[in-house]
Structure 1
Amino acid sequence: MTNDSGVWIRRASTAAGLAYTAIAEYELARRLGAAPAIAAMLPISIDCYVVAALKWFRALDVFLSLALMGAAQVCAHALDAGVVTVSLDLVAVVSLLVPIALWRTHALARQTPRDAEDAVPSPTVPSVPDEKGLRTASTPGTDEVTLDRLDEQDADGTPELPPGTQQDAADADDGPPPEPPLMTSAQVAERYGIAMSTVRTWVDVGRLTVHTKDARNRSLFHPDALPEQEAVRS
C-alpha cells in the first residue's frame, strides 16, 4: 500500500466516523432542549478534539476524545430508544463534554508546536582552520571556542613551529643572498641608454654576454655580468 493510499484511507475513515457520530450528537443536544444553532456546537467541539488528537496522536488524548464521542453516542441512542429519560444526571454528563473537549483541543494546539521545535537538534558548525592553523569549533548560541593546537603554543602565546623549522630559518639567514632577477634586452637598453638593436649588435661582437634564453627565445642577461658604462662604450 502506498503512502497516498494510506492517507486517503485514514481521511475517509475519519470523515465517515465524524459524520455518523455528529448526527447523534446533534440530536442529543436537541433532545436536551438546545436550539438548532447551539446544538450544532456539541458535535463540532467533540469532532475538533478527535481530529486534533488523531493528528498529533497523543495516546491520552486519542483515548479521551474517543471516550467523549462514545459517551455522547451512548447517551443519544439510549435516550432515543427510551432506555433513559431526560434527567439532571444526563444533562450534567452531556454539558461536561464540550468544556473537556475545548480544554484538551487548545492544550494540544499549544503544546505540540513547542514540543516539535524542542525535538529539532541544533545544527553544528564544522571546525574551520584559521590563518594560523588553529581549528575552532562553535555551536550556535554559545561562545565556546576549542583550539586543537593550544598545547603547542609557547609561554608567550606564540604557536610552536614544527621540528626543524626554526633551525632551517636560521640556516637560511646564514646562506648566500638570493640571486637578482635577470634583465631583458629592453631593460639592458634602458640601463645603457641605447636602442635594442644596439644591444643585439653588442651581443654579436661580444661586448655583452647572454646568460640564458626564456621560453620565447628572448635573451636574458645577468646584472652582475654586465660591464660598466665606460667599459662597454670603449
Structure 2
Amino acid sequence: ALSLRQADPHPPRQPDRVLRIRGVKTRRNNINVATWNVRTLYKIGQLASVIKEARRLQIDVLGVSETRWTGNGRYRVDENYEMIFAGKDTHEQGVGILIHTRISDKISAIIPKSERILLVRLEVKPKPMVIIQVYAPTAESSTAEINNFYNDLEEVMRCSKNNDVVFLMGDFNAKVGKDHGSQVAGRYALGEQNERGEMLVEFAERHDLVICNTWFKQHERRLYT
C-alpha cells in the first residue's frame, strides 16, 4: 500500500494492512484505512465475511481487489457500510471500496477509472482524503497492459489537490526488493526487486509517496504489494 509521507501508519493487522490516520477527524478521532485482496466477492457469503472482518477491526475504509463484480455502482450493504465498485463486463479483476456509513456522507467524488482503478474523495477535516484502490496487472500480463495501468493511474492522481491526504493502496503485483536504494521504501522490503517493483518505486518517487508496508517488520506474505 502507498500513502503520503505525512500519514502516521501503525503496524498492520488483519485482514491486510490497517492505517490509523490521526488528525483526520469525524465523530471519532481516527479513520482506520485498510486494503485487502479478497480474491473474489462473486461467491455467496464472501461479502458478508469481508464486512464481518471490517466490523471486527473497526475499519472505516476498506479497499478491496479482485472483486470480480461486473459494472460500476454504489449501494448500501447494511446499517454500517456502503460499497462502491468498478468492474468490467466479465467476472474478472475488479476493485471496490467499502466505506463506513459514519463517513459515507462525506463522499464528494467517485471516479471508476477502470476495473483496476477506483477513486473516492472524502470531504473530512482538517484535510480532504482521496482513496485510490488498485489491482495491477499480474506478472503474466503484457508490457502494454502494465503501461496502460500506470498511465491511467497518472491521470487519476492528477484528480487530487495539493492539500489532500492521498491513500493509494491495493495489490500492485510488484516486488520492491531489499536493495531498492530509495527513500520511499523501508528496510523491510522483500527479496530482489523485479521490473514491476522498479516501476512502483519510480511512481512513488514522482508523487512523493511512501510504500508503507516496507517500513514495518512483519510476515513475508504481508510484504507483497
Greater helix proportion? 1
Greater strand proportion? 2
TM over 0.5: no
Question: Which has the higher Rg, Structure 1 or Structure 2?
Answer: 1
